[in-house]
Amino acid sequence: MAEKMTGAEMVIQALTDQGVEHIFGYPGGAALPIYDALFQQEAVQHILVRHEQGATHMAEGYARSTGKPGVVLVTSGPGATNAVTGLTDALMDSIPLVCITAQVPTTLIGSDAFQECDTVGITRSCTKYNYLVKRVEDLPRIMHEAFRIATTGRPGPVVIDIPKDVQFALGEYYQPDHDTLRHQSYRPQVDGDAAAIEAAVDLMLRAERPIFYTGGGVINAGPEASEHLRELAELTGFPVTSTLMGLGAFPASHPQWMGMLGMHGTYEANLAMHDCDVMINIGARFDDRITGRVDAFSPNSRKIHVDIDPSSINKVVRVDVPIIGDCERVLAEMVRVWRSKTNQPRNEAIAPWWKEIEKWRAVNSLGYKNSDTVIKPQYAIERLYEATRKQGKDVFITTEVGQHQMWAAQHFHFDKPNHWMTSGGLGTMGYGLPAAVGVQVAHPDALVIDIAGEASVQMTMQELSTAVQYRLPIKIFILNNERMGMVRQWQDLLHGSRYAHSYSESLPDFVKLAEAYGGKGIRCENPAELDAAIAEMLDYDGPVLFDVIVEKDENCLPMIPSGKPHNEIILPDTANIGDIIDEKGRALV
């Protein structure tokens, strides 16, 4: 039964048994036996990246758009350290990754050998779990256990560090079953407590000003969770808002959708959060970008919190009804319990609440002054959204980090989960381009667009070469304002408009750069020509770097300013944002 093979072959065999079709990696001395095994098979396709950080973000994009784990293969030393940013990003955003790092032979560990680093030491705090495999006998068990840990409970990255001699060693391959896995201590709770779900539904049945506040947990729980959310929202008639990570779990075209909440969320979503009497948090974690001042956060509400991670409960905000469990299971149960108690939505009881929400909606907090001489970044995204709707293709959006990311979240609308990939928790500039590559690998026929800024995109620009090599027709839509726009906005807000190093100097000619890489470059600076240029980008069968020259000093609004509660949000018509924050605020971030 058991088959003799080398450690390197076991790695490939385990990947095959786990159903892995694509891995993202970069070879090096210590990883060569695994690369040799990879060369001699066809089940697993390897995507050669240009930098290991790119491999981790590609795997994140792949994972987020498919619901499957992303797999990374890198060499020892610098290969492993370069992967650290992506691992941390995946940990913060709960993305399932399995990252295989090669290590120097066991006999050399600790001797400061060439390309040696303490990978398990370095990645201990940026992974959900990590392993150093010292014996080939342990390798099959560890490979399979790593996939289980990465994908279950609150998902996250797992590192497997494999010394070169273990890759060469012969051993017997086996597939462990759940009982023979080493860590019997690892048993995530997936079913919510029945009494707590009952209490939550009772609270919802009495609510007069309720709101659903949903997060990335709904997406991680699979597409069924989004269906249950929609069902529950329609059963109850309650409004729904979402965090940045949760966009798409509830359709943006739905009349109960309120837009994103938080620092750059809509006026209606934030005011509804502030004034609600029952808050139903499904798979979100009360991040500081959401709560603003904690003592002024939704002061008069009873709070229900569904989360698979017990340590998220009461970490930031004290809640009244905690429910530990998988969002999909808990939502399904909430639907069942609600149905058992009533067959009516609470339309009448919450009608005054909706009336209030309509008043807030009428403020049109995402409005902006358009121009016919210069392209407004919001306008560019709106036009992109309209153009992509006509394509008849599945559309996936990734972003970098900054103003363009928030504008994309505000002005691009998502009706399905797993179609929006962004770096939320860690805020990693340079995430979007490689993430788009990963998404396109998983969905070769889809339209994949990285909405980028000219500063962020330069952090991982070299992955354009990967896109060209594998004929991945990603579109990189750069909102080029020659600024690190969000930094510039904060300097206006907090630092007397002293723009310390927040400008993009010596920018490359992005059109020539695209051509140098073997892709297509397009530049557009006239609003009247934008639609035609977008059409040209979408029509091109190959990677495109689209340089949209936009208004340089546009502010990203609305914004809950520093240290203020939700009801003190800055709206788009504010003339001078520099007067809003007081002296003491400048000491903080």
Contact segment (CB under 8 A) with another protein among 289-297, 398-406, 414-422, 502-510 equals 289-297
Should residue 107 be labelled a site residue for another protein when binding is judged by CB under 8 A?
no
Contact segment (CB under 8 A) with another protein among 196-204, 284-292, 438-446, 459-467 equals 284-292
Interaction with another protein in 558-587: which residues (CB under 8 A)? 560-563, 581-587
Should residue 125 be labelled a site residue for another protein when binding is judged by CB under 8 A?
yes
What is the spatial distance between Cα 288 and Cα 292, in angstroms, rounded to a whole number? 6
Q: CA angle 43-89-79, nearest 5°?
A: 60
What is the spatial distance between Cα 298 and Cα 216, in angstroms, rounded to a whole number? 21
Q: Please measure the distance between the N-terminal and C-terminal CA atoms of the chain and give it in whole angstroms.
A: 60
Q: How far is CA 518 from the centre of its chain?
A: 29
Look at residue 479 and give its three-state secondary structure.
Answer: strand
Q: Which of 327, 306, 179 is closest to 249 using CA atoms?
A: 327
Cα four-point dihedral sign 522, 528, 530, 531: negative
Question: Alpha helix (H) ranges present in 414-469?
Answer: 432-442, 464-469
Contact segment (CB under 8 A) with another protein among 38-46, 293-301, 365-373, 450-458 equals 293-301
What is the spatial distance between Cα 582 and Cα 564, in angstroms, rounded to a whole number? 11
Question: How many residues sit in the footprint of another protein (CB under 8 A)?
Answer: 41
> Least CB distance from residue 296 to another protein, whole Å?
8
For every residue of 82-130, DSSP letters joined together read HTHHHHHHHHHTT--EEEEEEE--GGGTTS--TT---HHHHHGGGSSEE
Interaction with another protein in 259-278: which residues (CB under 8 A)? 263
Asked about 115 being catalytic, the answer comes back as yes
> Least CB distance from residue 189 to another protein, whole Å?
11
Catalytic residue among 58, 273, 421, 486: 486
Should residue 557 be labelled a site residue for another protein when binding is judged by CB under 8 A?
no
Residues 178-207, mask of contacts with another protein (x by CB under 8 A): ----xxxxx---------------------
Cα four-point dihedral sign 493, 494, 499, 505: negative
Residue with tokens 């269906």: 227
Asked about 24 being catalytic, the answer comes back as no
Interaction with another protein in 484-513: which residues (CB under 8 A)? 494
Residues 76-105, mask of contacts with another protein (x by CB under 8 A): ------------------------------
Q: Closer CB to another protein, residue 23 or residue 494?
A: 494
Residues 307-326, mask of contacts with another protein (x by CB under 8 A): --xxx-xxx--x--------
In whole angstroms, how far apart are CA 433 and each of 61, 453, 510, 541? 10, 11, 14, 17
Q: Closer CB to another protein, residue 80 or residue 263?
A: 263
Q: Closer CB to another protein, residue 293 or residue 413?
A: 293
Q: Which of 317, 305, 180, 293 is closest to 588 using CA atoms?
A: 293
> Least CB distance from residue 413 to another protein, whole Å?
26
Asked about 334 being catalytic, the answer comes back as no
What is the spatial distance between Cα 80 and Cα 70, in angstroms, rounded to a whole number? 16
Should residue 124 be labelled a site residue for another protein when binding is judged by CB under 8 A?
yes
What is the spatial distance between Cα 84 and Cα 423, in angstroms, rounded to a whole number? 15
> Least CB distance from residue 326 to another protein, whole Å?
16
Should residue 300 be labelled a site residue for another protein when binding is judged by CB under 8 A?
no
Asked about 486 being catalytic, the answer comes back as yes
Should residue 589 be labelled a site residue for another protein when binding is judged by CB under 8 A?
yes
Should residue 252 be labelled a site residue for another protein when binding is judged by CB under 8 A?
no
> Least CB distance from residue 558 to another protein, whole Å?
14
> Least CB distance from residue 589 to another protein, whole Å?
5
> Least CB distance from residue 45 to another protein, whole Å?
30
Q: Per-residue b/e over 324-360, b at no fewer than 16 CB within 10 Å? A: bbbbbbbbbbbbebbeeeeeeebeebbeebbebbeeb
Cα four-point dihedral sign 261, 333, 227, 347: negative
Contact segment (CB under 8 A) with another protein among 200-208, 274-282, 288-296, 473-481 equals 288-296
Interaction with another protein in 12-41: which residues (CB under 8 A)? none
Q: Closer CB to another protein, residue 541 or residue 583?
A: 583
Should residue 157 be labelled a site residue for another protein when binding is judged by CB under 8 A?
no
> Least CB distance from residue 142 to another protein, whole Å?
11
What is the spatial distance between Cα 386 and Cα 89, in angstroms, rounded to a whole number? 31
Asked about 164 being catalytic, the answer comes back as yes
Q: Which of 307, 121, 279 is closest to 209 using CA atoms?
A: 279
> Least CB distance from residue 124 to another protein, whole Å?
6
Q: Which of 120, 205, 349, 468 binds another protein (CB under 8 A)?
A: 120
Interaction with another protein in 441-480: which residues (CB under 8 A)? none
Report residue 578: phi and psi, to 5°.
-70, -15
Catalytic residue among 3, 41, 45, 114: 114
In whole angstroms, how far apart are CA 564 and each of 51, 153, 314, 438, 561? 40, 34, 21, 38, 6
What is the spatial distance between Cα 348 and Cα 350, in angstroms, rounded to a whole number? 5
Report residue 244 as tokens: 């940045």
> Which residue ranges make up the site for another protein (CB under 8 A)?
120-121, 124-125, 128-129, 132, 149, 182-186, 263, 288-289, 292-295, 309-311, 313-315, 318, 494, 560-563, 581-589
Catalytic residues: 52, 114-115, 164, 486
